[in-house]
Amino acid sequence: MVSDAALRLHRRRHPMALSLAMLCIWTIGLCASSRPARAADPPPETLITVKTPKGALIQAELADTALKRAQGLMFREHLADERGMLFIFGDAQPWTFWMKNTKIPLDIIWMDGKKTIIHIERNVPICTRQDDGCPQYHSEEGALYVLELGGGRAETLQLQRGMRLSFKQP
């Protein structure tokens, strides 16, 4: 750490250098704060408990705003087996998902308004493309909810089309 006296002395001798240094520090801080979060686990009170027909519990982060839905699980490097992300939409559509900037394979599970599974994409691979050319995944039917789990979890939990999941919508 630089002492106040040294800073004052440096300021008198090199006022432009100090201004430039402060601008660089501010710019680095601004860039770091605008970078997508590397996502720590959310606090437990922000999780929704999703129960499978066989009684398994998944603690799902809620993606209920446009911003949260757009970010999804991007940039995550790990997703615990008992964790997921639950997307809640205002109207039933064949919502499209892709894996751009997603660093872990996922299972994507679409559900209708009764929380019945209408489509599952299993072990969807990551996409490392820098453009917007990543494959897109969607259901053929309208979905109100989509649950993302770590790749392979749907098979482990024996989830199938026609099964009903249960959770309380906030």
Q: What one-character-per-residue DSSP string does 89-120 give?
A: EEEEE--EEE-BT--S-EEEEEE-TT-BEEEE
pLDDT digit string, tens, across residues 113-163:
999 999 999 999 999 998 999 999 999 999 999 999 999 999 999 999 999
| pLDDT at position 32 | 36
Domains of the chain: 4-34 (no CATH), 44-156 (2.60.120.1140)
| pLDDT at position 80 | 97
* Ordered mean pLDDT values, 10 residues apiece, the chain (170 residues): 36 37 32 42 75 98 94 95 96 95 97 98 95 95 98 98 95
